[in-house]
Amino acid sequence: MTAARAIPTAPLVVVIDDDPSIRSSLKFLLSTVGLQAATFDSADGFLHTNFPDVPSCLVLDVRLPGLSGLDFQRELAARNICIPIIFLTGHGDIPMSVRAMKAGAIEFLTKPFRDQDLLDAVRVALDRDRKRREQETQMADFRHRFDSLTHREQEVVSMVVAGMLNKQIAAELGTAENTVKVHRSRAMEKMHAQSVAELVKMIDKLEASVEP
Amino acid sequence: MAESAFSSNDPQLATSVSAYAVPLESILCTEELHSRPTRPPDYEKENRALVKLVSALADSPSTIFHTLAETIQDITRCDSAGLSLLTKDGKTPHVDGQRFYWPAICGMWNPHVGGGTPRNFGPCGDVLDQNRTLLFTHFERRYPYLMPVSPAAEECLLVPFYVNGKAVGTIWGIMHSDRRKFDAEDDRVMASLGKFASSAYQAWMHIEELKVEVAEREKAEAEVRELAKGLEAKIRRLVEANVVGIMMFNLDGAITEANAAFLHMVQFDREDLASGRVRWADLTPAEWRGRDERALVEIKATGTVQPYEKEYLRKDGIRVPVMVGGALFEGSQSEGVAFALDLTQQKSAQERLEEARRALYTIQAELARVARVTTMGELAASIAHEVNQPLTAITNNGSACLRLLANRKLDPEVLKSALQEIVADGTRASAVITRIRGFLKKAPTEMCELDINDIIREVLTLAGHELQKNQLLLECQLSGALPRVRADRVQLQQVLLNLVMNGVEAMNGAPNRTLSLESRTDESGNVLVAVRDSGTGLGSEVDRLFTPFFTTKTNGMGMGLPISRSLIESHGGRLWATANSPHGAVFSFTLPAAGECNL
């Protein structure tokens, strides 16, 4: 991790509920475990705000004025905003909770809930978001490194990852085996790969992220 | 026949002008009276005659004319003597003064008593015209009308007499032969007797008038007697029929007479009545005495008392509701007659009706409560949410405080503000519970004056979450200048909540969901509330909406609208449904403005 990326790491919990008592009490509860909270009375307010690039999660009332909680979840997905969601509901509504969970919700809590359950869910959500952010950062790194390879180097890397021997690659490319070795070692260096195994893992991840 | 001629009342004859056969002068010999040898006056005889006449006038005035005629004949020693009186009948002018008749005749013409002549058919008319004593000889020469009267008059002495200067008749004497002729002495005596005739005539007239008066009075009295006899029978019939109680009373409190119906009503008997034990003052329970006092004032002032309701205490102490009214007897200040009508039947019927109405109200209230419970059941999710919100906030704040406490990081200021929030949320939760409990409570109808807009706002609070959950647009047009209504708060809330919930349900799945509430006064000054939805509308079901157990909902009871309508109607209002434009339904109800409502 570089120092530049480490500065704004204090996570943020975003609370959206139309009831001011709920907003205020949740903010207080989260503060006891050192978490910062931003509160909104509607989904609209959230969509019009720019947030710092920190691990975050949403605590969302299912029944919101205007856009409902589940509609909002769909809307976020459509906008490609990947923020973990913890749903709050006034009454246990199983079909609704199933839908929410399938759509990727972290937790579906019935009011009133145990403080620990909420804080645990928040912790899980923030961890997941943190991890996702780290992966995204790493992926961007890998992509950047891969993009710095020459066309020939990229071809050689692809064949190495596919398990071909140097001799086979040379034959395939119609070049000398020594030349392949030079490309290979330069690519390994550019990709910061200590071993072929590590290189394979990197490329796998890159390919996985490209796939839909 | 002679008699028939004299007694004729033929008006034709009476009014026809007499065709005198010869001039008056040719049959008169009045001047001769004073040239004929005359006898000396016999004052003694004359005095006796006058005394006799005066006493006859006093003793038997009805026969005075006959006595007078006898006296004339006696004193003048003539053959016939009598009176002629002008007919007098104020009522028939063609008779009045048109004829002479003969009330008394003595002597040879006596058979002609009661007869007479038309005014201008005999000598009397000429005498009155001449206004002096006249002596006629053979007057039948001038008056052919008298020709057949026999025996014929040789000489006839006629003297007119007057009352208050007006000629009313003549007295006369007739000689039927020439054995004797009238002389100056006859003239003097006849003049004197003429004056008496005038007095006698007046006395007789008075008596006649009195007779007429008496006869008229007797006739009137007979009529009254006859009438009274009929009326008495009718009144007796009324009294004895015993369809109403009737009693005679005096203002001192006594009942002097009463019919069987009255005695039966108060359970006293004839013996009680006779002994004076039945007193209306004692029949009246204490709390009705004030009303009786007012009746006494009325009867003393006007003579009657208009019927009013009160109670009597029967002999056995049981109360009987009655209607009484009465009147003082004419001319009496203390006694009168009264009727009393037993109202027991009517009262008990009225009470049964009242009881049935109360029972109906109780059932209606209970049914209404059941419907409220049902409505609350439908609202359960919303209610849970409303209670859950503050509870959740309380739990959050409490848990947070405990955490800080455990870490010994609790700042008193932070604790204070958290506790304040906890208290506020606790109050909020309890308000929800109170509201719902108030709505569901089993309480008797409680009428008070209300602002309908307050009720609308309360209902929107009760149903608020339901509206929000269904994401519909709410429009309110509440008039600020509404008269208050007299109503039961909970029942009105129920009706409105029912209409609002129906509206919400009707718009389930509709593209544009707008619920609008309006309050205003209608054309008659009633308060009108309309709840409009943009839902599926009423369709063909509009007629069955208010039929009990008719429902379009999967889990509805079908009682909401019928109960709502009966609640509004029991408040003196009306509830109905119409179509909304372009789609949906309008449910409206009216309530009379407070002060105009008679409940």
How far is B527 from chain A, CA to nearest CA, in Å?
33
Q: What is the dihedral of CA B311, B314, B320, B323, to 10 degrees?
A: -50
- In tens, the pLDDT along A132-153 reads 988 888 888 888 998 888 999 9
Return the bridge partners of B28, or none: B136
Q: What is the pLDDT of residues B249-269, one digit of tens each?
A: 988 888 988 989 999 999 988
Q: What is the CA radius of gyration of chain B?
A: 56
The yes-or-no verdict on residue B5 having pLDDT over 80 is no
B242-342, what's its fold?
Beta-Lactamase (3.30.450)
Burial class (CB in 10 A: 0-12, 13-18, 19+), B192: middle
What ipTM does the predicted assembly reach?
Answer: 0.75
The CATH classification number of B447-599 equals 3.30.565.10
Residues B548 and B558 sit within 8 Å (Cβ to Cβ): yes
Which pLDDT band, with edges at 50, 70 and 90, does B42 fall under?
confident
Written as six digits, the tokens of B564 are 């709502």
Please name the amino acid found at residue B288.
Answer: W
**Domains along the sequence of chain A with CATH:** 3-136 (3.40.50.2300), 149-210 (1.10.10.10)
A21/B390 touch (CB, cutoff 8 Å), yes or no: yes
| B449, two tokens | 């004056």
Answer yes or no: are the C-beta atoms of B148 and B5 closer than 8 Å.
Answer: yes
Query: Which of B388, B404, B416, B420 would you mutate first to test chain A, the one with the most A CBs within 10 A?
Result: B388
Q: What is the pLDDT of residue A77?
A: 86
B273 contact partners, CB below 8 Å, separation of at least 6: B255, B257, B258, B263
DSSP state of B279: B
Q: How remote is the C-alpha of B328 from its chain's centroid?
A: 17
- For residue B473, report the phi and psi dihedrals to the nearest 5 degrees: -90, 130
| Residue B404 near residue A31, CB atoms below 8 Å | no
Domain with CATH 3.30.565.10 in chain B: 447-599
Angle at A59 between CA A53 and CA A65, to 5 degrees: 115
For chain A, the farthest-separated pair of C-alpha atoms sits apart, in whole angstroms, at 74
The shortest CB-CB distance from B395 to any of A24, A68, A112 is to A112
Interface check for A154 against chain B (CB to CB < 8 A): the answer is no
DSSP string, A119-177: HHHHHHHHHHHHHHHHHHHHHHHHHHHHHHS-HHHHHHHHHHHTT--HHHHHHHHTS-H
**Per residue in B480-522, pLDDT tens?**
889 999 998 888 888 898 899 888 888 888 888 899 999 999 9
Nearest to A90 among B384, B418, B424 (CB): B384
Structure tokens at B472: 């519909």
Average pLDDT of the residues in B573-586: 88
Taking CA atoms, B322 is separated from B26, B307, B309, B350, in Å, by 95, 10, 6, 14
Cα separation, B569 vs B589, in Å, equals 9
| Alpha helix (H) residue ranges in B407-451 | 412-440
pLDDT of B598: 43
CA separation for the pair B287, B491 (Å, rounded): 38
Task: Give chain A positions within 8 Å (CB) of B393.
Answer: 19, 21-22, 24-25
Burial B405-443 (b: 16+ CB within 10 A, else e): eeeeebeeebeeebeebbeebeebbeebeebbeebeeee
- Residue range B175-204: average pLDDT? 89
Q: Tokens in use for A32?
A: 């006891």
Residue B277 pLDDT greater than 90, yes or no: no
The predicted-structure confidence for B394-421, as pLDDT tens digits, reads as follows: 999 999 999 999 988 888 899 999 999 9
At CB < 8 Å, which residues of chain B contact A?
Answer: 381, 384-385, 388-397, 399-400, 403-404, 407, 409, 414, 418, 421, 424-425, 428, 468-469, 471
CB of A112 within 8 Å of a chain B CB? The answer is yes
Residue B309 is given by DSSP the state E
CA–CA gap between residue B580 and residue B538 (Å, rounded): 9
Q: How far apart are CA A15 and CA B128, in angstroms?
A: 143
- The CATH 3.30.450.40 portion of chain B extends over 2-212
User: Distance between CA atoms of B134 and B123, rounded to whole angstroms?
Assistant: 9
Q: Determine the distance in angstroms separating the CA of B393 from the nearest CA of chain A, rounded to an integer.
A: 5
Instruction: Say if A42 is an interface residue toward chain B (CB within 8 Å).
Output: no
Q: How far is A52 from chain B (nearest CA, A)?
A: 26
Q: How high is the pLDDT of residue B2?
A: 37
Taking Cα atoms as reference points, which of B29, B253, B303, B245 lies closest to residue B142? Answer: B29
| Bond from prior residue into B41 cis (ω within 30 degrees of 0) | no
Q: Which residue of A has its CA nearest to B429?
A: A21
| Most confidently predicted of B171-175, B271-275, B287-291 | B171-175
Rounded CA gap, B230 and B241, in Å? 16
Tell me the C-alpha distance between B84 and B449, whole Å: 99
Least confident window among A172-176, B329-333, B360-364, B589-593: B360-364
The three-state secondary structure class of B378 is helix
User: Taking a C-beta distance cutoff of 8 angstroms, is the pair A108, A84 a contact?
Assistant: no
Q: How far apart are CA A137 and CA B276, in angstroms?
A: 123
Q: Is A62 exposed, middle or buried (0-12, 13-18, 19+ CB in 10 A)?
A: buried
Residues 6+ apart with CB under 8 A from B139: B27, B122, B123, B146, B153, B156
* Bridge partner list, B589: B529, B575
The pLDDT confidence band at residue A211, using thresholds 50, 70 and 90, is: low
Contact A86, A61 (CB under 8 A): no
What residue ranges of chain B are covered by domains with CATH 3.30.450.20? 242-342
The reported pLDDT for the residue numbered B41 is 86
Mean pLDDT (chain B, rounded): 84
Preceding peptide of A95 cis, ω within 30°: no
Give the mean pLDDT of B367-380: 74
Interface test with B, best of A18, A26, A29, A67 (most B CBs within 10 A): A29
- Rounded to an integer, what distance in angstroms lies between the CA atom of residue B142 and that of residue B24? 7
pLDDT at site B397:
94
Highest mean pLDDT among A191-195, B359-363, B376-380: A191-195
Judged by average pLDDT, the poorest of A107-111, B283-287, B557-561 is B557-561
Structure confidence by residue, pLDDT tens digits, B146-167? 888 889 899 999 999 988 888 8
How many CB contacts within 8 angstroms connect chain A with chain B? 74
Nearest to A112 among B392, B403, B414 (CB): B392
Beta bridge partners of B311: B321
Q: Residue B396 and residue A22: Cβ atoms within 8 Å? A: yes
Max Cα separation, chain B?
181
Cβ-defined contact of B389 to A31 (cutoff 8 Å): no
User: Which are the contacts of A59, defined by CB distance < 8 A and separation ≥ 6?
Assistant: A13, A14, A15, A16, A17, A26, A86, A88, A118, A122
Q: How far apart are CA B546 and CA B549, in angstroms?
A: 9
- Burial of A2-40, coded b for 16+ CB within 10 Å and e otherwise, reads eeeeeeeeebbbbbbbbbebbbbbbbbbbbbeebebbbb
User: Does B468 contact A63 at a Cβ distance shorter than 8 Å?
Assistant: yes
Amino acid B51: pLDDT: 86
Contacts of A144 (CB under 8 A, 6+ apart): none
| A65 chain-B contacts, CB cut-off 8 A | 468
pLDDT of residue B90: 55
**Cα–Cα separations (whole angstroms), residue B291 to B287, B298, B344:** 8, 11, 19
B404/A65 CB distance under 8 A? no
Of residues B50, B65, B61, the one with CA closest to residue B101: B65
CATH of B2-212, one of 3.40.50.10490, 3.30.450.40, 3.40.605.10, 3.40.50.300: 3.30.450.40
Give me the residues paired with residue A15 across strands.
A39, A59
- Of the candidates B385, B393, B409, the beta carbon closest to that of A21 is on B393
Question: Of A103, A198, A203, whose CA–CA distance to A149 is shortest?
Answer: A203
Is A24 in the B-facing interface, judged by CB distances under 8 Å?
Answer: yes
CB proximity under 8 Å: A 72-111 to B: 88, 90-91, 111
Residue B16 pLDDT > 60: no
Please indicate whether, in this complex, the C-beta atoms of B400 and A91 are within 8 angstroms of each other. Answer: no
A95, A70 contact by CB (below 8 A): no
**Does the predicted model carry a pTM greater than 0.90?**
no
> A91–B404: do the CB atoms touch at under 8 Å?
no
Eight-state DSSP code of residue B482: P
Provide, as residue numbers in chain A, all residues whose Cβ is less than 8 Å from the Cβ of B384: 90-91
**B386: nearest CA in chain A?**
A90
Confidence of residue A30 (pLDDT cuts 50, 70, 90): very high
